[in-house]
């Protein structure tokens, strides 16, 4: 299948700007950052360049992008081929572990001045959410199949033992979500965010009646086919619908790594939906990527490389923010388990498969620029989890038997 969006160069990455002063300052900052992070940097192809952790092949373009666009420019410069790293994830992890030491205090205090704001077009209104989801998830089912496990789970696995394969760890993740939600024979289950249908299929095999909603037409089509092949189509209803437009009530609600696509302006609406869709006494289980609350508050309105190129409209919440929204909705926060290191391993395996299948991805119509962008994305995310900058967890929320509106 050909990609449904334009993913070929030129145009994916903007031209390097002319910003000599910013480039000069950035070069000095990079020297300091590399020393702090313990990585070696080489310019061009001179002596020692082959052994350097980070090789800057086009210094003028690299520093111009970095000086003008900060971390967004850093990612753009990799996509454009301005620099290389043999161990990209390892280099990014070293930088991420020292992130607070890399940016001088005076720059952190004035970050609101020099960081770009998120475009209003990326807001997750009902129409905006459809466009944002389509941008990423409707690339091509064949594309995602090149690097995901056979069940096509595009979220963190849970490695309950070191000997687990990725497929086994993905199944363990889904089983723990369903266990936490109390899903069994006869359960009426709402799933917010279908993916490619594997969790819905596993729930149906327990005897649950599953209503799963997604905004991705590509995912919905394949998920329906997979439910038929699994022999559970009579128990699984997959619908293209915004979570805010779902009606009815359910014994349980599950949502795996969909909250990151909601946007902070709509976290209250999301929790209100969980409350309204749950029967009294019901449990919602969400698997969510989260970050430190203060860091989230400082960055939630800023454009990032991820929101610019991978997930428009995306926003990683903090657990505090989710719990506060849940309490405002009248839900009771419950048990939770975090396993960020497992996401780092999941991403490592995805990236390894992605690079191994690079030629096949190219034959699907995705050019070298796009493949570099996605290699950076997978390594960038792996670094965030490996360094503890972000984590992932499964969190429970209960609707009490007698709901009382929060009056605070």
Residues designated catalytic: 381
DSSP state of 162: T
Query: Residues 229, 235, 239, CA angle at the centre, nearest 5°?
Result: 85
Contact status, residue 104 vs residue 49, Cβ threshold 8 Å: no
Show the tokens assigned to 75.
């990612």
- Gap between the Cα atoms of 386 and 371, Å rounded: 22
Bond prior to 10 in cis (omega within 30° of 0) = yes
* 394 CB-near residues (< 8 Å, 6+ apart): 176, 177, 180, 285, 286, 287, 336, 337
- Exposure of 364 by Cβ count < 10 A (0-12 exposed, 13-18 middle, 19+ buried)? middle
Query: Residues 268, 274, 279, CA angle at the centre, nearest 5°?
Result: 145
Show the tokens assigned to 221.
């089509």
Judging by DSSP bridges, how do beta strands 390-398 and 278-291 pair with one another?
A: antiparallel
């Amino acid at each position: 299948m050909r990609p449904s969006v334009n993913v070929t160069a030129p145009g994916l990455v903007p031209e390097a700007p002319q910003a000599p002063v910013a480039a000069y300052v950035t070069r000095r900052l990079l020297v300091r950052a590399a020393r702090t992070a313990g990585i070696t940097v080489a310019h061009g192809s001179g002596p020692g360049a082959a052994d350097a952790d980070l090789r800057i092949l086009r210094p003028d373009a690299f520093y111009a992008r970095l000086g003008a666009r900060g971390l967004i420019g850093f990612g753009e410069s990799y996509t454009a081929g301005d620099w290389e790293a043999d161990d990209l994830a390892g280099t990014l992890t070293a930088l991420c572990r020292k992130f607070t030491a890399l940016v001088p205090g005076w720059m952190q205090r004035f970050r609101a001045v020099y960081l770009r704001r998120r475009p209003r077009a990326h807001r997750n209104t009902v129409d905006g959410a459809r466009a944002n989801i389509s941008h990423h998830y409707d690339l091509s089912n064949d594309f995602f199949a090149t690097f995901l496990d056979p069940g096509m789970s595009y979220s963190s696995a849970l490695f309950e033992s070191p000997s687990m394969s990725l497929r086994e760890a993905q199944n363990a993740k889904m089983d723990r979500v369903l266990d936490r939600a109390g899903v069994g024979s006869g359960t009426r289950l709402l799933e917010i965010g279908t993916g490619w249908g594997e969790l819905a299929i596993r729930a149906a095999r327990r005897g649950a009646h599953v209503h799963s909603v997604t905004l991705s037409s590509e995912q919905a089509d394949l998920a329906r086919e997979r439910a038929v092949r699994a022999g559970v189509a009579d128990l699984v209803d997959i619908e293209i619908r915004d979570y805010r437009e779902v009606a009815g009530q359910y014994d349980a609600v599950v949502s795996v790594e969909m909250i990151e696509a909601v946007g902070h302006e709509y976290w209250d609406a999301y929790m209100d939906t969980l409350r309204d869709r749950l029967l009294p006494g019901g449990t919602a289980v969400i698997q969510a990527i989260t970050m430190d609350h203060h860091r989230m508050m400082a960055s939630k309105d800023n454009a990032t490389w991820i929101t610019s190129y991978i997930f428009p409209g995306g926003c990683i919440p903090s657990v505090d923010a989710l719990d506060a929204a849940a309490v405002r909705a009248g839900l009771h926060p419950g048990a939770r388990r975090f396993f960020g290191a497992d996401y780092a391993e999941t991403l490592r395996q995805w990236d390894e498969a992605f690079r191994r299948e690079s030629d096949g991805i190219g034959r699907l119509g995705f050019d070298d620029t796009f493949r570099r962008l996605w290699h950076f994305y997978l390594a960038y995310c792996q670094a965030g989890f490996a360094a503890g900058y972000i984590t992932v967890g499964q969190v429970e929320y209960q609707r009490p038997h007698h709901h009382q509106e929060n009056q605070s």
